[in-house]
Structure 1
Amino acid sequence: MNGLKTTNAPSSSVVIPHFIYGGISLIILAVLLVLADTYLLKAYFNTKLLAITHIAVLGWASMIIFGALYQLVPVVFETALFSEKLAKSTFWFSSFSVLFLSYSFWVGSYVTLLPYASVFMFVSLLMFVVNIGLTYKKATLKNIKSTFVITAVFWLFITELIGTIIALNFKFNFLTQIHLHYLKIHATVGLIGWFMLLIIGVGATLIPMFLISHELKEQKLKYTFIFINGGLLMALINWFLFQKNEVDILISLLMIGGIFFFVSFIYDSYKKRLRKKLDVGMQYSMLAIAAIFIPFILIGFMVFNTTIEVEFLYRISTFYGFSIIFGLITTLILGQTYKTLPFIVWLHKYQKLVGKMKTPLPRELYSEKIATVQFILYFVFIGAFVIGFLFNQILFIKIGSYALLIVALLYNVNIFKIITHKVKSVENE
């Protein structure tokens, strides 16, 4: 992370707990996949799959992202985090809310527990949104990358608002359409508006920096921003008011066009890179970028193909969510953890010792062998699940579930190794 300004960086006590909780959530997620078994090949709105989805996007992905953003937002916005106390309170409130919400889905308590769990979750995410929003308000640097980040945070608020309304409707029954209609909107806004836009904003900042790439055309990022947000706004208007299939086609084309410009920007960065050899963190990141078109291809397949059997459509819909959560988000997080967390810990423990003693490189704080084995097994997990979803093969789903469990354990070993690193007192001669 050379080149990052660290004067506004928050205390490590704000950031590191998020990585610990996220790592544990990844283990829980893998265990739930093993326990869910055949439920993974059923309709995507079954209780087990909903619980798994929420522990994945909130306990694992969002919690890691919150921690990373607390470190990166001061860099992207060039100002200190609005409130570290609010960030710590948000962590504990979110930690409880994620478990409460996921348990409510797992046991299918839609009327008794889910409405209350969703309100807790909404409040915890609102605390995060307010903290980032007020940080952005006093930002000294506002460019296309910071615009991506704050817009993603706005879509997170909309996502959780829609989710809370859906949950409350189970108890009070005030919505006019069936729950699945609103669930589609909730999932799309969350996966595209929150995760995809955030990945683009942060990725456009970090990937060129790690590759050491210069003189990139940011105009492509502006096109990406316009196309994807235009598609999201059009989707909300169409799905709430008109529900026209022809408009869905235009929405898909807009989003695919936006992603094309982003991938083109990353490809330019890759071509102009000065650092030719990719470490395991960047291998993960490049794999994620390569997979970014898959969910949009699946959307196009579902929109254009009107003769799909219902059972196969359900599996494709689940595969769509899988392609974003695991093909893109988790792949990127696994890679960027090895770029960000070692630097955060190194900064906390060695920044004041530079020049006074020999200091290790951030990548020396974890085991590259463990990270490499983890990378290989993650390929096994992805491949097995793809085969399982497309060909309705539970055996491959089981193989993939156990492979992810091992990945999660290895990931946590390295996380523990990084955060428990002890300063070695070897003075310079």
Structure 2
Amino acid sequence: MNGLQTNNAPHSSVVVPHFIFGAISLLVLAVLIILADESLLQAYFNTKLIAITHIAVLGWASMIVFGALYQLVPVVFETALFSEKLAKVTFWFSAVSVLFLSYSFWVGSYVTLLPYASICMFLSLLLFVVNILLTYKNATLKNIKSTFVITSVFWLLITELIGTLIALNFKFNFLSEIHLHYLKIHATIGLIGWFVLLIIGVGATLIPMFLISHELKEKKLTFAYYLVNGGLIVAVINWFLFKNELIDYLIPLLIISGVLFFVSFIYDSYKKRLRKKLDVGMQYSMLAIAAIFVPFILIGFIVLNTSFEVEFIYRIITFYGFSIVFGLITTLILGQTYKTLPFIVWLNKYQKLVGKTKTPLPRELYSEKIANIQIIIYFVFIASFVIGLLFNQLLFIKIGSYALLLVAILYNVNIFKMITHKVKSVEND
């Protein structure tokens, strides 16, 4: 973590609450998946599955990402966060909004509660976007990596705007197409525009840093940027205006091509790395990068095959969302948590003691044994869910559900072990 700039880093009170809420959300998510039971094998737009998706995307993934981004802004933008006070207000507003929104979906209150919950969620995300945009305005470094990050934030705002319109439509009925049509746009922009672009921007910054890789060809990232964004723009224009099935074949081709350039960049970083041994955090990260193609292969499969039974297509679509949320996003977050949070806690507790006393390493703030057990159980979760979703086997879904619960418990143990760490030092001779 020596490559991370700390001069402009925000106070830990800005960042740490996001990791706490995210960790607890992962635990709640695991419990809800257990309670959902056979609903997981039903159509992807059932109330419980939509509630679970929003807890996963907003309560777990986005909340962790918000906290991490506040810490990484000095690295990616080379400037301090515009407003730490605004970030704290945004956290509490977002936390309440996530719970309100997810509850509205879980109980199926689409007319009574959902419109108001969605407005709250939109306003809270708007505050986050404004803070990041104003921070970017003051940035001294504006390169392809920071461009990825700021573009992903733009797509986040579009995602939530469409989601809010869908929610309001349940009450006021003003949209011309059925909800599922707009839900497809909402999900695609959110998962690809927000998460995948953000992963590329931050991943291209941090992974070479952690691997200690130099002399990489950043032109590959430029190609990735224009191809992925080109695919998203084509998708939005086509789905809103033309609805041309032939154009639908072009969309995954553009996005997959862009992702290929990013993966090639990471592969170059891996080959040129000076740090040969991968710790648990980088093992998770490399696994996530390896899994990045799965959702796009599935989308190609859905586009090219229309002769399968409707129920099977529904399960494939659920599997597509699962592959992004858990195969890619969650895997990467679980790994990068063990790279970022220990450093954040260490910085807060030990920075002033450097040179005065002997201090522990950041990785010594959590249990590597627990982290290693966690990754094994996580493999069980992934494998079980894949089998359950593809072959319509509820038993494997249940096995995977309880495996995820164990993962969430172990993750929370390490999170709170780091956050509650007490300063330990030995005077130098």
- TM-score interval (norm. to shorter): over 0.9
Partner of 2:330: 330
Hey, what's the Cα distance between the residues in 2 that align with 1:199 and 1:86? 24
Instruction: Give the CA deviation at 1:294.
Output: 0.2
Within 5 Å, give how 1:42-53 maps onto structure 2: 42-53=42-53
Within 5 Å, give how 1:27-426 maps onto structure 2: 27-426=27-426
Q: Which runs of 5+ in 2 are unaligned?
A: none
Hey, what's the Cα distance between the residues in 1 that align with 2:274 and 2:22? 32
Partner of 2:22: 22
Instruction: Give the CA deviation at 1:75.
Output: 1.6
Hey, what's the Cα distance between the residues in 1 that align with 2:244 and 2:324? 25
Instruction: Give the CA deviation at 1:4.
Output: 1.3
Hey, what's the Cα distance between the residues in 2 that align with 1:359 and 1:205? 27
Hey, what's the Cα distance between the residues in 1 that align with 2:281 and 2:112? 43
Hey, what's the Cα distance between the residues in 1 that align with 2:158 and 2:308? 31
Q: Which runs of 5+ in 1 are unaligned?
A: none
Paired residue secondary structure (2:64): helix
Paired residue secondary structure (1:80): coil
Corresponding letter in the other structure for 2:402: Y
Give identity over the alignment, percent.
83
Hey, what's the Cα distance between the residues in 2 that align with 1:425 and 1:184? 54
Q: Could you report, residue by residue, the CA deviation over 1:41-64 in whole angstroms, capped at 9, with x for unpaired residues?
A: 000000000000000000000000
Paired residue secondary structure (1:8): coil
Corresponding letter in the other structure for 2:85: K
Corresponding letter in the other structure for 1:404: L
Hey, what's the Cα distance between the residues in 1 that align with 2:324 and 2:122? 22
Hey, what's the Cα distance between the residues in 2 that align with 1:223 and 1:24? 38
Hey, what's the Cα distance between the residues in 2 that align with 1:375 and 1:179? 38
Paired residue secondary structure (1:127): helix
Paired residue secondary structure (1:291): helix
Q: 74-83 vs 362-371, which deviates more?
A: 74-83
Paired residue secondary structure (1:293): helix
Mapped contact 2:30–2:401 kept (Cα < 8 A): yes
Instruction: Give the CA deviation at 1:395.
Output: 0.2
Kindly tell me the number of residue pairs found equivalent between the two proteins.
429
Hey, what's the Cα distance between the residues in 1 that align with 2:383 and 2:414? 24
Paired residue secondary structure (1:109): coil
Hey, what's the Cα distance between the residues in 1 that align with 2:245 and 2:362? 50
Corresponding letter in the other structure for 1:268: D
Instruction: Give the CA deviation at 1:362.
Output: 0.4
Hey, what's the Cα distance between the residues in 1 that align with 2:153 and 2:343? 24
Instruction: Give the CA deviation at 1:245.
Output: 1.4
Report the aligned-residue RMSD. 0.4
Establish whether residue 2 from structure 1 lines up as the match of residue 2 from structure 2. Answer: yes
Hey, what's the Cα distance between the residues in 1 that align with 2:355 and 2:425? 13
Instruction: Give the CA deviation at 1:365.
Output: 0.3
Mapped contact 2:360–2:425 kept (Cα < 8 A): no
Hey, what's the Cα distance between the residues in 2 that align with 1:378 and 1:129? 32
Hey, what's the Cα distance between the residues in 2 that align with 1:38 and 1:193? 30
Paired residue secondary structure (2:292): coil
TM-score, normalised on structure 2?
Answer: 1.00
Q: Could you report, residue by residue, the CA deviation over 1:358-388 in whole angstroms, capped at 9, with x for unpaired residues?
A: 0111000000000000000000000000000
Instruction: Give the CA deviation at 1:5.
Output: 1.1
Q: Could you report, residue by residue, the CA deviation over 1:96-135 in whole angstroms, capped at 9, with x for unpaired residues?
A: 0000000000000000000000000000000000000000
Hey, what's the Cα distance between the residues in 2 that align with 1:388 and 1:244? 33
Paired residue secondary structure (2:427): coil
Corresponding letter in the other structure for 1:75: V
Paired residue secondary structure (2:428): coil
Hey, what's the Cα distance between the residues in 2 that align with 1:74 and 1:206? 12
Instruction: Give the CA deviation at 1:425.
Output: 3.0
Hey, what's the Cα distance between the residues in 2 that align with 1:25 and 1:259? 29
Paired residue secondary structure (2:8): coil
Paired residue secondary structure (1:65): helix
Mapped contact 2:282–2:336 kept (Cα < 8 A): yes
Corresponding letter in the other structure for 1:20: I
Instruction: Give the CA deviation at 1:424.
Output: 0.9
Instruction: Give the CA deviation at 1:341.
Output: 0.1
Hey, what's the Cα distance between the residues in 2 that align with 1:269 and 1:232? 27
Paired residue secondary structure (1:86): helix
Mapped contact 2:231–2:251 kept (Cα < 8 A): yes
